[in-house]
Chains A and B, each alone.
Chain A
Amino acid sequence: MATNITSTELDFENIKNSLKTYFAQKSEFNGYDFEASGLNNILDVLAYNTHFNGLIANFATNESFLNTSQLRSSVVSHAEGLGYRPRSRSSSKSTLSLTLDLSAVSSGSRPTNITLPIGTEFTASNEQGQFKFKTRVSYSATDSGAGIYEFLDTNGEPNVVVYEGQNKTKTFYSGTVTENQVYVIPDETIDTKDMSVLVYPSPTSEKFETYTFLENAITVTAATQYYDIKEAPNGYYELNFGDGISFGKSPDPGNKIVVTYNSCNSILANNSSGFSAVNDLSVDGNSYAISVNTQILSHSGMPREPIESIRKLAPIQFSAQQRLVTSLDYKGMIQSNFPIVEDVTVWGGEENVPKDYGKVYISIKYPINTTQFVKTETENSIKNLFSDNLAVMSIDNKFIEPSLTYMEIKTNFYYNDGLTSQSNSYLETLIRNYISTYFNTNLGKFESKFRRSPILTGIDNIDKSILASKMSIKLQQRFLPNVGISSAYDIYFPVALASANTNTYVITSSRFTVGGATCTLRNTLGTADIEIYNESAGKVQTANIGTYDYKTGTISLVGFEPTAIVGGSAYIKVSAVPLDPAVISPLRNYTLVLDESENEAFGNIEHTETKIVL
């Protein structure tokens, strides 16, 4: 008699059925299958126990690996094992132009230099409320000659950077010497980029030693004074010191450890404006109002790094080993250090069109409304803080704007009008909306591919009356022509295009005028030549205005001179049929988006004949 009980199930009912199967093979008890019987109640308890043990084992196993962990504490712990430090909150920051007016003071009495100290406070507000900002470094200003002092950064620019948040202090006393003393700061709002750790020999001492962040350490000896801060399992932050033996100095018993950190509101403080100094600046015993000119709204405040980001970036950063060699190294570095970056793609110059050896091309997608100042600042930081130090020598960065490739979708679907009470136009709207939502959800990022069959499957499932569907696809690039000036243009598509045929046009365009006639661009049937077609006259206006190379997806126009663009827009849309419409895989800095004006759906009623033909 088989007596095996399957114990690998997780579902309660399956476990209980397994136990019932066991009892079915036994003749001793035969009331087990009636839900109210005593034995059945015992089976409930056994199955319940097995069910929970199984789940706990399953959860525990999931939490053991970075890829399957669900708890933040587990993901952070696995990342730590890979040497990855998940980002804390980032303070929102802004750049101000500050001046001090001492023109009322006689020139002989005015100081040569005035210093704006670290921690000078400002307030600003947005729709979330008022926030405090402060400087992290000191700035100095010199007399302009007329008593106006403008504070400059180390580059001589009038850019005073202020960070949102307020200083908080936590004091610890080092206990008796034990292994690995950990000091927990019970605060989740820390911006770990802005904290100081001072160690006093005794609670009453005024002398102190400054410990520096481990990330900034170049060499670590037994005497190196460094601290390390990392996220604890409960979301707070743990402060660690060296072991005092070989890897960094450890505070002695009785030492007072004073941690001052910035507690920030992260994303809430973004877009703050109306900056003003909290206090006047004291110069030679007199107070002067600081004149503030906001250069940009506050930005870059971000919450703690989310779990999925840690899961993605930790292995990349581990494989990069603090070096920038492969494209993944760059992506990992940029995404883990610049939370404002929504998406990034990196490729080598040898893969660029045209080829450009010795360059690393970086294309960054920022949130909408990101100012050019912020973009430039981010790109400069990438270069100055990371690629100049970590990348291979003689390799330069080149930042390229993301390029949008629009898609034109025409969907034909067939439906049974007996299975729906909805109108044709209603179904067409449903399908257009579905396609629009699909693009918003799945595309618009670098390297995200368009696959036609999943969309068609989704369309077929929108309503039970929809029986079949098909979709024709075109890619569209937009270019700004020099109106009234004869120029040459190269228009690049991210994929190979269909080769010319004698029946349909592979290349088409939106309307423009040439000498008063409404025209479009198209390829000459059966050839790769581009011609200007005069729609008004119904004939070719100019033959051979250029060519297209279907393999590289490049259209070249020569001597193209439109007089105006029809429709009021500044650009001409050039559409092309891709070689393989089933999958569109954009390369480099191209991202796919939907041209909503070219998202069309057409419903066709499919009648089912029920007559019997004899």
Chain B
Amino acid sequence: MAKLLSMEDKDLGTIPSVTLRNSSYTDLDLSFTTKPDFGSGLATDVYKKFDADAVKQSIKNLLLTNHFEKPFDPYFGGNITRLFFELADDLTESEVEDDIKYAIETFEPRVEILNIFATIDPDTNSCTARVVFKVISTNTVTTLETDIARLR
């Protein structure tokens, strides 16, 4: 969260403005890749994600989760892959978009959705989802594009 110091706090002049801003959102990078040790041989920390990147990772995680996957929260997730087990028709893309919209509005209060595009490829039983959203706290507009496909 940002530390907003004011003139009344009387220390605005003594602290460099670059240090006044903390990241709004911090999360672990789910790739769990470690930072380079630059030859020191010492163990290093995993990468983190900040702000819009952290939110983007969260939305991707949300869309790729199906119902009943999260313990004790059965209706968490976009639950999009269920549509891949039905025949694709003209309404499927619209259904995917609705599901994505519902999931983000329900579980990700940090963003405002600007646009959602879903493209179904019936031949490969897959879907490409493109979500344009704005991180509310920072007004950063970001686009997430992800492919969702049946495993079998």
Tell me the smallest distance from the CB of B18 to a CB of chain A, in Å. 17
Of the candidates B23, B57, B70, which one forms a contact with A38 in the assembled complex, judged by CB atoms under 8 Å apart? B57
Of the candidates B25, B65, B76, which one forms a contact with A31 in the assembled complex, judged by CB atoms under 8 Å apart? B25
Interchain CB contact under 8 A, A12 and B71: yes
Interchain CB contact under 8 A, A38 and B73: no
How many residues of chain B get a CB closer than 8 Å to chain A's CBs?
A: 29
CA distance A212 to B59 in the complex (A): 74
CA distance A36 to B25 in the complex (A): 13
Most buried by B among A34, A37, A41, A44: A37
Of the candidates A13, A27, A29, A36, which one forms a contact with B58 in the assembled complex, judged by CB atoms under 8 Å apart? A36
A28-B26, A31-B27, A31-B54 are contacts. A36–B59 as well, Cβ < 8 Å? yes
Interchain CB contact under 8 A, A38 and B25: no
Interchain CB contact under 8 A, A37 and B72: no
A13-B72, A44-B70, A48-B71 are contacts. A31–B1 as well, Cβ < 8 Å? no
Interchain CB contact under 8 A, B28 and A42: yes
Segment of B94-102, B103-111, B112-120 in the binding face: B103-111
A34-B58, A35-B76, A37-B61 are contacts. A29–B107 as well, Cβ < 8 Å? no
A12-B71, A12-B72, A13-B72 are contacts. A34–B110 as well, Cβ < 8 Å? yes
A30-B1, A31-B54, A31-B58 are contacts. A38–B71 as well, Cβ < 8 Å? no
Contact with A along B21-62 (1 / 0, CB 8 A): 011111111100000000000000000110000110111011
CA distance A42 to B108 in the complex (A): 17
Interchain CB contact under 8 A, A38 and B107: no
Residues of B with C-beta under 8 A to A37: 25, 27, 54, 57-58, 61
A41-B61, A42-B28 are contacts. A35–B72 as well, Cβ < 8 Å? no
SS class of chain B's interface: helix, strand, loop or mixed?
loop
Instruction: Answer whether residue A39 sits at the interface, using C-beta atoms and an 8 A cutoff.
Output: yes
CA distance A36 to B28 in the complex (A): 12
| A11 nearest CB neighbor, chain B only | B72
A12-B71, A35-B76, A35-B107 are contacts. A29–B26 as well, Cβ < 8 Å? yes
Interchain CB contact under 8 A, B108 and A36: yes
Residues of B with C-beta under 8 A to A27: 22
Interchain CB contact under 8 A, B76 and A39: no
Tell me the smallest distance from the CB of A23 to a CB of chain B, in Å. 11
CA distance A35 to B65 in the complex (A): 11
Interchain CB contact under 8 A, A39 and B71: no
CA distance A276 to B72 in the complex (A): 62
Interchain CB contact under 8 A, A35 and B27: no
Most buried by A among B22, B57, B61, B65: B61
Interchain CB contact under 8 A, A34 and B108: yes
CA distance A249 to B132 in the complex (A): 84
Residues of B with C-beta under 8 A to A13: 72
Residues of B with C-beta under 8 A to A41: 30, 61
Residues of B with C-beta under 8 A to A47: 71
A36-B58, A36-B108, A38-B61 are contacts. A31–B26 as well, Cβ < 8 Å? yes
Scan residues 6-49 of chain A and give those whose CB is less than 8 A from a CB of chain B: 12-13, 27-31, 34-39, 41-42, 44, 47-48
Residues of A with C-beta under 8 A to B61: 36-38, 41
Tell me the smallest distance from the CB of B52 to a CB of chain A, in Å. 12
Scan residues 438-453 of chain A and give those whose CB is less than 8 A from a CB of chain B: none
CA distance A31 to B48 in the complex (A): 11
CA distance A41 to B70 in the complex (A): 8
Residues of A with C-beta under 8 A to B65: 36
CA distance A48 to B65 in the complex (A): 17
Residues of A with C-beta under 8 A to B58: 31, 34, 36-38
Spell out A's residues near B (CB within 8 Å): 12-13, 27-31, 34-39, 41-42, 44, 47-48
> Assuming A44-B70, A48-B72, what are 11 further A-B pairs, CB within 8 angstroms?
A12-B72, A29-B28, A30-B24, A31-B25, A31-B27, A35-B62, A36-B76, A36-B108, A37-B61, A38-B57, A38-B61
Task: Name 6 interchain pairs, CB-CB below 8 A, sorted by A.
Answer: A12-B71, A30-B1, A34-B109, A35-B73, A35-B76, A37-B57
**Which 5 A/B pairs are nearest by Cβ-Cβ distance?**
A36-B62, A36-B58, A31-B27, A31-B25, A38-B30
